[in-house]
Amino acid sequence: MTDTTPRQRARLETEAQITAIGNRMVDEDGIEGVSLRAIARELGVVSSAVYRYVRNRDELLTILIRDAFDQIADFVDEALAKERSVAVLALAMLEWSRAHPNRWALIYGTPIADYEAPREETVVPGTRIMIALARLVADSAGDEGPTPEPLPSAAALQPLREGLAELGLEHEDAVIMSTVTIWVAAIGLINALRFGQFGPGLDGVEDELMRGVISSLGE
C-alpha cells in the first residue's frame, strides 16, 4: 500500500504533465512559445490554477533547462560508453542539437532576458559534458608528450581551475587550456550550424565539418 493520498498522486501527475507540455512547447516554438496560460488551457484549467504547481514562469524554465542539460549529457555518456574519444563526444553533442535544436538553444544560446538560472539547480547537470571532455583530454595527454605551445599565464586559468576544484577535479594547465579550446570550438560550430550563421546548404556535411574542426585541433 502506498500511503500517498489521491491528491498527492494527482499533484505529481499534473506536475509531470506541465513539464511535458513545456518541453513540447520548447520543441515547437522555442522558449518564447512556453506560455503558462497556454499550458493551463491545455490542462483544461483556468490560467491562475497553474500557479498552484509552478511558482512562476521562471521556475518552469529552470526545470526545462535542467532537464535539457541532463538529456544531452545522458546522450553523450551513452555515445562515450561505446567509444571514448573527443570526436565521439563532439559528434554526439552535434547529433543531439540536430534532434532538439530549441532545447540546444535553451542551454547553449543567449541567456533568457530577466532570468538567471539558479546555479545550485543547474551547475551540476550543466557541467557534466565539459567534465567528461576534460577527463578525455587528460587521459590522452600523455600520448603526445608535453605540449610545445606557449600557455597563457597561470593567472588567466586560475578562475577555471577554481571552478573545476569546486566540482572535485584537478587538471594541469595544459589540459585545461586544451579542454577550453576544444569546448569553445565545438560549441561554436554547433551554434553556427544551428543558428544558420554559415547560410543554408550545410545540412549534409555537419558531421564532416565537426570532424575537420576537431582533427585540426590535434585530437
- Interface pick for DNA out of 46, 99, 156, 192 (rule CB under 7 A): 46
For 43-52, b/e burial (b = at least 16 CB within 10 A) is eeeeeeebee
158 near a second copy, judged by CB under 8 A:
yes
DSSP 112: P
Site string for a second copy, 16-35 (x = CB under 8 A): -------------xxxxx--
- Interface pick for a second copy out of 12, 20, 49, 192 (rule CB under 8 A): 192
Name the amino acid, one letter, at 1: M
3-state secondary structure at position 90: helix
Which does residue 81 touch among a second copy, DNA, none (CB within 5 to 8 A, set by kind)?
none
Which does residue 163 touch among a second copy, DNA, none (CB within 5 to 8 A, set by kind)?
a second copy
Cell numbers found for residue 200? 543554408
- Interface pick for DNA out of 1, 2, 5, 196 (rule CB under 7 A): 5
Nearer to DNA, 38 or 180 (CB): 38
Of 45-53, 77-85, 122-130, 138-146, the segment contacting DNA by CB under 7 A is 45-53
Distance between CA atoms of residues 124 and 127, nearest Å: 6
Long-range residue pairs from 171-180, CB within 8 A, at least 24 positions apart, any chain: 171/134, 171/137, 171/138, 172/138, 172/141, 174/141, 174/146, 174/147, 175/134, 175/137, 175/138, 175/141, 176/134, 177/151, 177/152, 178/137, 178/141, 178/147, 179/130, 179/133, 179/134, 179/137
118 near a second copy, judged by CB under 8 A:
no
14 near DNA, judged by CB under 7 A:
yes
- Site for a second copy (CB under 8 A): how many residues? 56
133 near a second copy, judged by CB under 8 A:
no
Residue ranges that bind DNA, judged by CB under 7 A: 5-8, 10-11, 14, 34-38, 44-49, 51-53, 56-58
